[in-house]
Structure 1
Amino acid sequence: MKTSSILASVLLLASLCTSCTKDNSDPKPEEQTVAGEVSGTWKKGSIIQVTGDIIVPAGKTLSIEEGVTVVMDTTAKPEIIVNGNLYATGNASNPVKFTVPETARTTKYKFGKLWGGILASKTCTELVLDNVILEYGGATTTEASTSVKLGLYKAASGENVPALWYSNVSGKLVVVNSIFRNFNEDCTYLEGGNIIFSNNKFYTTGVTGGEAINIKSGCIADVAYNLVYSTNTNALKLSNAGDRTPQAYVVAYNNTLLNTGWRRPTIKGGSIWIEASVRADLYNNLLTNCRFGIKRDVKKPEDSRSVIQNNLYYGYNQTTVDQFQPTAEIASGTNEVRGTKAGDNDPKFANYPLSTDVMNADYNSSWDFSLLSGSAALNKGITTFTRNFKTGITANGKTYTSPEPANYIGAFGGK
């Protein structure tokens, strides 16, 4: 009896320990493989293997919860076609991630081209990316591409797909707190919509061309507090090309732009490009070691109502400084902070070597672009201008407002 009691006690203890282990272990992430039509909800923390082009049908919604990892097959190089609505909402500690298998995340594919991008047609009424990472895309279209067959984006083979294309002039597009990296060409190509882009980062993008934010006619947009590092061409390309209604009107303010435009072999690359009757109000933008200042197409200039004010220009060497001096092509603006000698108006970043090679496209996550005491960008901003979406854009039941402008220049305040 005594032996039986001891044995029973041992078995009970083992059972309890096993139960404790199971209770305290993290559940295995849900995994599923998808291709073709998709809708519904991809649950928090799940892993989605995409083996072919996927389509959110018109009138339906795909919601992607925090911590979801969407892994794109690098042989199929899928596109994500959004005819309905897409809401990808992560958070700072658990972003949604559109990526490729870990073995493909190497320097060999630094500029991606391993899957397509997110392509939203005119029937997409709402698209939200909040705390999302998009990386390693920008594949080249072929005659077999779904986007070509459906007449989306440029509807032609041989085009490098942007990370995000949006085209509904009456639609709503909100992209906040997100990262675009390791893309072959454009990060975004926007041909319509009521748009907020704020608090995003763009880096390691563009082999021979490409902008971070490329806006055409049909767009009303606020672009604020974004960091753009070493895009191949411009950080912002603002244009009314396409003659859609409404006329493109962009308020871009408190952005930090670094080393942009140098890897473009022609004279088009710079910092901010304005053209074709776009109405562009540009305030409090910090242009550091960019190839040119704010540049216009003199044959197709911006709308005369455009405002350029309180932007700061810094060049580590004299060549850079000389190339942001006002000319017919380089906009002058008012109340600008623009020196004439190398090193004038030091922004005094908390942790970034201003001598970094302007051809460098590799981003260091330890860099800190906050402003130290004595920065030429502190207390030089303007806050009295009007932004397009002060009262916000409501999408997926949540109202996103364009952030308040700051009294400093750039995307980050004092340290």
Structure 2
Amino acid sequence: MKLINKIACLLAVAATALVSASCENDNINPYEYNNNGGNQNQGSTEVLTTKIAEYPVGSLVWTKDTTLTESVEIPVGTSLYIEPGVTVTCKSDVQVPIEIVVLGNLYCMGTAEHPVTFTSDTKKPEDWGGIICGYNSEEVVLNHVDLAYAGATPTESSASFQNHLFKSTIDGGVPAFHFCNVNGKFVMANCFIHDNYNDQTYFTGGQGVIYNCIFADSGNATDGGEAINVKAGCKLDIANNIIYNACTNAFKLSNAGNSEIIPLTQLAAYNNTIVNCGWRRAKNKKGGSIWLEKAIAPTFVNNLVYD
């Protein structure tokens, strides 16, 4: 609970400037926001002000709906803010699956009435990659986010592969959301994570909280797919979530990858509801609602596991 109280402050910090939950949803071009462009949102010498908020100097801000036709990288030391109500649509008919690679920081500040949405043009699992964070990503906030139809297999030209993130070989899809900085912090609150082709989330480091989220319909029979997949290097509180129809596991927890550098994971999961999970993948019949391995010692309190 202390971790929830501590890290949930990120929500308050990121939202201090929000004065309204409305936004204009005309299309914007996200590729104007790059190191070489002249957009005021990159490297501004003054506080950046939109219709609903003020942002720190040098911020990137997406204020309106956009369609991605190629991957986007958020540079190290740079923060991308996505305002309430913005929908990001990833095109599926591209040679290299679209990814959002966060080498810096990401703040998706949706509201119950105006969530931030990541979707695809055809709304089919595996249409695009996912949100893949880098080793120097210090903070990520996903608040009232709808994240769906991710899990595509990267190529050697993919942004995540080029930045040496998540996969060193091309042997399957990426998760919808991946965080890996042992010293970084993240919050997932009030999110709807659904219809993703592989793991919904995958953590190989970081201090975070996941609460009041719904994870639905993850994975595929060939490769499997966890709702919440955790390795060494994490300190997590996971509470008040609903996990439905995860292919391989609702929770797959492991201290794989631990070493003198990477600390053992500390994890507490309480008040979660798990329904219809562990229907197993065809390859090795592996699956269950809660799967523990390799020296993991989590604390589970007051969770409901059904069917």
- Aligned partners of 1:37 and 1:57 also within 8 Å: no
> For residues 13-412 of structure 1, what are the structure 2 equivalents within 5 Å?
29-35=25-31, 38=34, 40-43=60-63, 46-76=64-94, 77-101=97-121, 104-105=122-123, 109=124, 112-208=125-221, 209-244=224-259, 245-265=262-282, 266-289=284-307
Please identify the structure whose Cα radius of gyration is greater: 1
Distance 1:136 1:36 in 2: 25
1:89 shift after superposition: 1.0
Distance 1:242 1:35 in 2: 36
Distance 2:277 2:101 in 1: 30
Could you tell me which amino acid in structure 2 is paired with residue 84 of structure 1? G
1:249 shift after superposition: 1.0
Q: Which has the higher strand share?
A: 2
Could you tell me which amino acid in structure 1 is paired with residue 112 of structure 2? A
- Aligned partners of 2:280 and 2:286 also within 8 Å: no
Could you tell me which amino acid in structure 1 is paired with residue 141 of structure 2? V
Could you tell me which amino acid in structure 2 is paired with residue 261 of structure 1? G
Give the RMSD, CA atoms, in angstroms: 1.7
- Aligned partners of 1:141 and 1:160 also within 8 Å: yes
1:27 shift after superposition: 8.5
Could you tell me which amino acid in structure 2 is paired with residue 236 of structure 1? F
Name the count of aligned residue pairs: 255
- Aligned partners of 2:23 and 2:84 also within 8 Å: no
Q: Give the structure-1-normalised TM-score.
A: 0.59
Q: Secondary structure in 1 aligned to 2:157?
A: coil
Could you tell me which amino acid in structure 1 is paired with residue 179 of structure 2? Y
- Structure 1's 37 and 145: CA in aligned 2 closer, same or farther, altered over 3 A? farther
Could you tell me which amino acid in structure 1 is paired with residue 82 of structure 2? I
Distance 1:127 1:280 in 2: 23
Distance 2:33 2:200 in 1: 25
- Aligned partners of 1:65 and 1:90 also within 8 Å: yes
Could you tell me which amino acid in structure 1 is paired with residue 113 of structure 2? S
Distance 2:188 2:264 in 1: 21
Q: Which runs of 4+ in 1 moved over 6 A?
A: none
Task: Note the residue ranges of structure 1 that are not aligned, 5 or more in a row.
Answer: 1-25, 290-415
Identity rate, percent: 41
- Structure 1's 37 and 167: CA in aligned 2 closer, same or farther, altered over 3 A? farther
- Aligned partners of 1:133 and 1:179 also within 8 Å: yes
Q: Give the structure-2-normalised TM-score.
A: 0.80
Task: Note the residue ranges of structure 2 that are not aligned, 5 or more in a row.
Answer: 1-21, 35-58
Distance 1:150 1:161 in 2: 14
- Structure 1's 61 and 27: CA in aligned 2 closer, same or farther, altered over 3 A? closer
